[in-house]
Amino acid sequence: MTDLGFVGLGVMGSRIAERLLDAGHCVTGWNRTRTKAEWLIERGLRWADSPREVALASDVVITMVTDTEALRQVTGGASGLLAGLGEGRVYVDMSTVSPAASRELAERVRATGARMLDAPVSGSVATLEEGRLSLMVGGDAETFERVRPVLEAIGPTVTYVGPNGQAALMKIATNLGLAVQMLAFSEAVLLAEKGGISRETAVHVLTNSAVASPMVRYRGPFVLRQPDEAWFDVDMMRKDLRLALEAGLEFDMPLPTTAVTNEFLTAARGMGLARHDFAVVFDVLAAMAGVEARREAREP
Amino acid sequence: MTDLGFVGLGVMGSRIAERLLDAGHCVTGWNRTRTKAEWLIERGLRWADSPREVALASDVVITMVTDTEALRQVTGGASGLLAGLGEGRVYVDMSTVSPAASRELAERVRATGARMLDAPVSGSVATLEEGRLSLMVGGDAETFERVRPVLEAIGPTVTYVGPNGQAALMKIATNLGLAVQMLAFSEAVLLAEKGGISRETAVHVLTNSAVASPMVRYRGPFVLRQPDEAWFDVDMMRKDLRLALEAGLEFDMPLPTTAVTNEFLTAARGMGLARHDFAVVFDVLAAMAGVEARREAREP
Amino acid sequence: MTDLGFVGLGVMGSRIAERLLDAGHCVTGWNRTRTKAEWLIERGLRWADSPREVALASDVVITMVTDTEALRQVTGGASGLLAGLGEGRVYVDMSTVSPAASRELAERVRATGARMLDAPVSGSVATLEEGRLSLMVGGDAETFERVRPVLEAIGPTVTYVGPNGQAALMKIATNLGLAVQMLAFSEAVLLAEKGGISRETAVHVLTNSAVASPMVRYRGPFVLRQPDEAWFDVDMMRKDLRLALEAGLEFDMPLPTTAVTNEFLTAARGMGLARHDFAVVFDVLAAMAGVEARREAREP
Amino acid sequence: MTDLGFVGLGVMGSRIAERLLDAGHCVTGWNRTRTKAEWLIERGLRWADSPREVALASDVVITMVTDTEALRQVTGGASGLLAGLGEGRVYVDMSTVSPAASRELAERVRATGARMLDAPVSGSVATLEEGRLSLMVGGDAETFERVRPVLEAIGPTVTYVGPNGQAALMKIATNLGLAVQMLAFSEAVLLAEKGGISRETAVHVLTNSAVASPMVRYRGPFVLRQPDEAWFDVDMMRKDLRLALEAGLEFDMPLPTTAVTNEFLTAARGMGLARHDFAVVFDVLAAMAGVEARREAREP
């Protein structure tokens, strides 16, 4: 078993770390808020006092943080992750950041003698718990082969995409579809409802139909009842769509449904719904349709 | 076993009839072109000389035709299906037509003493052959219960939606998502490709990701190689989107991603691609992006 | 001076008839509601008891009604306009109807021995009163030359477009821009406002800028204060956009901004604003942006 | 008369400088490429060797450059404009940059003792030459009053918008409409053309209709014949739309027609048309419609 490190023990990160512990790995971890990691420490996680110390204790160290800014904070500085890397170590970033930011970080890692992979995931906590998570991996192929067993312990589907930054791009390209599918799903539910079909029936039919992606099956029922806590909120999804639209500008790639959907996420913010799961685009569309979105049940 | 009738033995209809024969039902059938039904006759289908005679020979008669006009042709006139209906018989229409046309037909059926259900399917030949087809059913609940076993022999998931016309509406609402998902999928593939990822890799990742609906899994690979024969061509999908947009107008329901996607199907026609599977929206977007859609491999 | 007839003395039609009276023409008129025409009768209009009698009394008879259905009512039947047409007469329809409906009517007119022109106008009452109305004319060129002086008395800009139905098409193509420009204008005003600029200032700048079409100049100030009576309401504009989108389907012409804007007009209906001037798309967008549209001042 | 300075003597800047010389002002100027300013020097412009020297020689100094980066280059450094500013001087930036960049620059100007205004223009060379340019002005009201006569010599319509950065925002909000109007205009022309009306007739009718903004009147005829040199090319318009969309993200303001239109400008780049006037969105739409855009006449 490999000595692993894990920085960023949030909702998703902590469950991945748990999975690695369950697989018998030795895992050293760090999180900005230690209390959130207590349950993992009880299950065998070794606590370290900084990202740098995590890196020093590990052959392979993984990060999973919110955005590019958070990634800079855990990697840079005297107690940052980069300060603990060196020859022979591998660093795997599972955050969703821009391809450019990922490539730039990979170069700085290379300067320490270590190697980096970008390995974002497609899927949510539910997908992970069902053991059906997908990982895409960017970086050099040799490094990928070295850590492949660790990545396969996280999600069974692991696809090598290309050089550093390519998996970050592939993740962004994947996520644009999440938002678009959710808005199209909302159109279908509300069209059915305005034509006299109950919302429950419409959701039932659609989540068993040819459009029922994993996203639609997990998130579709949110239009009946919003979850107490957002799985992936409007701001997080906007961040990803922004990365997609900026990549579209950079590569001269028109993204028509993405662009339209992004405006509905912006409207969700305009309507004060930023902290809800991005399934709340349904509420924006319902407002335009003059339909009650049952929001009363959603706001504490 | 019930005496069944089947009018409209096209690509989908004939395979459903086959499935009913395999389940041990006695099936009488009719198709505009008899030659297309020869293989079914060899497998036990009884041929009738008109839709009327199919109805006369059956307790439950099913139609599956292309559009509202084709439905009028097989149901009306002296040799039409309505002329053979009467007290105690049930007529199930599995075509995709407008809710209004379906409701109107149901009233004419009722005038004969028979009862009608609208029971369109969600899924393709592939879904049917995997035994995973979804049916939605509109009509009175009692009639539905009478024919439920027959419908369950076709697809395991059968959902009662509401009065006549409601299943037709639910089908239209479902299908709008097929087109939108295909365009969003094309955006993702081409964004990845313009950023340096191979089209094959992008398709592989996406068809194993959280956006991988049955539609995406079956049709996604078409952007690598168009099928020899369209599963569902641009014109058929345009017909369905038009029904959705007209229902949107009728019910005051805005359908933003549907409306945008519809313009790309129109562009597919403008670019001379009407007879291709609707996955060809990929080619429209590729043209806008200045990317080769490998169309040479698609046109004989 | 020619003996003229005028059927359809609504807001716009009555002012055109007034203009023709002022130019010295003898005008016979008919309207579904006679009371609305009293002021014109006082100014010299001769009243007739049916469209047929208007036609019988006139060399050139003009209609200006709401839609295709209204046009059928005034032209057909025993007391309809067609019953009064014959060799030597010219019939000019200024309504906005589908090109197909216009062509079909022209054929029926031709069967009476008369000739028809479609001559819709671009502009509103304000444009007319400033003497700056534009007319487009479809039909045979010879007939156009015969009535050209009458048309020029209505609006100075008269453009011959082509055979019957072409002016109807050109009108529809023109009107799609009205709706799109109004939505884009609303985006600009609200973006400025959310950035801290007063709505009044934004409207002032925009109505004096490079985007200030006559439509923007007349209708832009409506976002400050809705008019007491709609100049052109949501339903009328939706009718025109629907004609445009149907023409787009017929001719395989994608209309992306038109399609998106149409969904906002649908949303206006969904939000209960159908009877307001179509400038109310501003309110739909304001709702999405979480901005108060000052609607209180608009609803009596 | 005031001693004026002018930095950035491109197509638009040089003509504004000419106008100020014609009005009797003493104008000192600088441009990155001196040869482009020779004709102005012959007409009385005093040449300076750096932006700093322009500032030192002037009471009021104006800049008009391409983008934020170019603005940084002419204002910063030892020979930059800021190095020549000080108590009592006014600096007027007429470039189109982001509101944030403009506000930041205004603070640095204030630190020198001088005052800055953002004063972008709406209109093109043609508008300027007709003496109908609009200026919007951001900054403190007192400074605005001091230089108002100079600004009114440039364009007759001068509107004070608010504090620093607000005119930059108002300009961006104005320009989004240019792009959207051009795409909607293209939809109208091509719809008419596919229905059998000549492109020339369609352009004639539209440029005399209620949608005929100054932009439509100047740029509409470009769909008949592209100008030899772009007035405002795809990349410049994309820069402005990007600023608008980023402001929309910042202020939570959905911009649906802007977002869709932006994707068509991206497509123009994808199709290799970046250097054409942005009227070339017509060609993108024509390609989707299967219509010849007569591009042969446009590419030398």
- Give the distance from residue A100's alpha carbon to the nearest chain D alpha carbon, in angstroms: 19
Interval C234-251: pLDDT, tens: 999 999 999 999 999 999
Other residues' Cβ atoms within 10 Å of the Cβ of residue D33:
8
- pLDDT at residue C230, as a whole number: 87
Decide if D256 touches B, using CB distance below 8 A.
Answer: yes
How many pairs of residues across B and C have Cβ atoms under 8 Å apart? 47
Query: Mean per-residue pLDDT for B162-166?
Result: 97
- pLDDT at residue B28, as a whole number: 97
B187/A255 CB distance under 8 A: yes
* Stated length of chain D: 300
A266/D252 CB distance under 8 A: yes
- CB nearest B270 (choices: C242, C254, C267): C254
Decide if B130 touches A, using CB distance below 8 A.
Answer: no
- CB nearest B272 (choices: D260, D272, D290): D290
With CA atoms as reference, report the closest residue to A191 among C19, B89, D282, B257.
B257
Confidence label for D129 from pLDDT (cuts 50, 70 and 90): confident
Q: Is the dihedral of CA D5, D8, D9, D12 positive or negative?
A: negative
- CB nearest D266 (choices: A242, A248, A264): A248
C270/A260 CB distance under 8 A: no
Distance (Å, whole) CA A52 – CA A147: 20
- pLDDT at residue A298, as a whole number: 43
DSSP one-letter string for D95-140:
S---HHHHHHHHHHHHHTT-EEEE--EES-HHHHHTT--EEEEES-
CA-based Rg of chain C, rounded to a whole angstrom?
A: 20
Determine the angle formed by the axes of helices C256-270 and C234-251, rounding to 10 degrees: 150
Taking the alpha carbons at both ends of chain B, their separation in whole angstroms is 46
- pLDDT at residue B298, as a whole number: 43
Percent of chain D scored above 70 by pLDDT? 97
- pLDDT at residue D38, as a whole number: 94
In terms of CA atoms, which chain D residue is nearest residue A284? D254
- pLDDT at residue C103, as a whole number: 96
- CB nearest D267 (choices: B270, B272, B288): B288
> Which chains reach chain B with 3 or more Cβ–Cβ distances below 8 angstroms?
A, C, D
The catalytic site residues of C sit at 171
- CB nearest D288 (choices: B260, B271, B289): B271
CA-based Rg of chain B, rounded to a whole angstrom?
A: 20
For residue B296, is pLDDT > 70?
A: no
- CB nearest D263 (choices: A256, A266, A269): A256
For residue B128, is pLDDT > 80?
A: yes
Decide if C239 touches B, using CB distance below 8 A.
Answer: no
CB C211 within 8 A of CB D174: yes
For residue B295, is pLDDT > 80?
A: no
- Chain D partners of A266 at a C-beta cutoff of 8 Å? 248-249, 252-255
In terms of CA atoms, which chain B residue is nearest residue C272? B252
Contacts for D122 with CB less than 8 Å, ≥ 6 apart: C205, C208, C209, C210, D133, D134, D135, D136, D171, D174, D175
What Cα–Cα distance (Å) separates residue A254 from each residue in A179, A247, B183, B265, C107?
16, 10, 11, 16, 45
ipTM over 0.85: yes
Q: What is the DSSP letter of C291?
A: -
- Chain D partners of C191 at a C-beta cutoff of 8 Å? 169, 172-173, 176, 244, 247-248, 251, 253, 255
- CB nearest D260 (choices: A249, A253, A259): A259
Decide if C24 touches B, using CB distance below 8 A.
Answer: no
Query: Mean per-residue pLDDT for C107-120?
Result: 97
Distance (Å, whole) CA A185 – CA A163: 35
User: Amino acid identity of D145?
Assistant: E
Query: Mean per-residue pLDDT for A253-257?
Result: 98
- pLDDT at residue B213, as a whole number: 96
In terms of CA atoms, which chain D residue is nearest residue B283? D288
- pLDDT at residue B156, as a whole number: 84
In terms of CA atoms, which chain A residue is nearest residue B168? A192
Query: Mean per-residue pLDDT for D248-266?
Result: 98
Decide if B262 touches C, using CB distance below 8 A.
Answer: yes
Decide if C177 touches D, using CB distance below 8 A.
Answer: yes
C256/D187 CB distance under 8 A: yes
Determine the angle formed by the axes of helices A166-194 and A99-111, rounding to 10 degrees: 150
For residue D292, is pLDDT > 90?
A: no
- pLDDT at residue D297, as a whole number: 44
For residue C36, is pLDDT > 70?
A: yes
> What's the mean pLDDT when you consider all of chain B?
94
- pLDDT at residue B118, as a whole number: 97
D288/B272 CB distance under 8 A: no
- pLDDT at residue D293, as a whole number: 83
A266/D256 CB distance under 8 A: no
In terms of CA atoms, which chain C residue is nearest residue A261? C260
Percent of chain A scored above 70 by pLDDT? 97
Residue to mutate among B187, B194, B283, B288, with most D CBs inside 10 A, is: B288
- Give the distance from residue D70's alpha carbon to the nearest chain B alpha carbon, in angstroms: 28
Decide if A262 touches D, using CB distance below 8 A.
Answer: yes
CB D245 within 8 A of CB D211: no
Decide if A272 touches D, using CB distance below 8 A.
Answer: no
User: Amino acid identity of B45?
Assistant: L
Query: Mean per-residue pLDDT for D7-20?
Result: 94
User: Amino acid identity of B86?
Assistant: G
- pLDDT at residue A300, as a whole number: 39
- Give the distance from residue A252's alpha carbon to the nearest chain D alpha carbon, in angstroms: 5
With CA atoms as reference, report the closest residue to B7 among B59, B67, B47.
B47
Distance (Å, whole) CA A65 – CA C68: 61
Prediction pTM value: 0.93
- Chain C partners of D251 at a C-beta cutoff of 8 Å? 191, 194-195
For residue A295, is pLDDT > 60?
A: no
- Give the distance from residue A243's alpha carbon to the nearest chain D alpha carbon, in angstroms: 12
- Tokens 């504090």 locate to D163
Decide if B123 touches A, using CB distance below 8 A.
Answer: yes
In terms of CA atoms, which chain B residue is nearest residue C234? B252
Decide if D290 touches B, using CB distance below 8 A.
Answer: yes
The catalytic site residues of D sit at 171
Percent of chain D scored above 90 by pLDDT? 87
With CA atoms as reference, report the closest residue to B167 among B215, B103, B213, B221.
B103
- CB nearest D253 (choices: A245, A248, A266): A266
- Give the distance from residue D174's alpha carbon to the nearest chain C alpha carbon, in angstroms: 6
- Chain D partners of C127 at a C-beta cutoff of 8 Å? 210
Q: What is the DSSP letter of D29?
A: E
Helix (H) or strand (E) holding C107: helix C99-111
Decide if D288 touches B, using CB distance below 8 A.
Answer: yes
- Chain A partners of D257 at a C-beta cutoff of 8 Å? none
Interval A74-126: pLDDT, tens: 999 999 999 999 999 999 999 999 999 999 999 999 999 999 999 999 877 88
Taking the alpha carbons at both ends of chain A, their separation in whole angstroms is 46
Distance (Å, whole) CA C146 – CA C134: 18
C205/D176 CB distance under 8 A: no
For residue C298, is pLDDT > 70?
A: no
Tokens describing residue B2: 């019930």
How many pairs of residues across C and D have Cβ atoms under 8 Å apart? 244
In terms of CA atoms, which chain B residue is nearest residue C239? B249
Interval B7-66: pLDDT, tens: 999 989 999 999 999 999 999 999 999 999 999 999 999 999 999 999 999 999 999 998
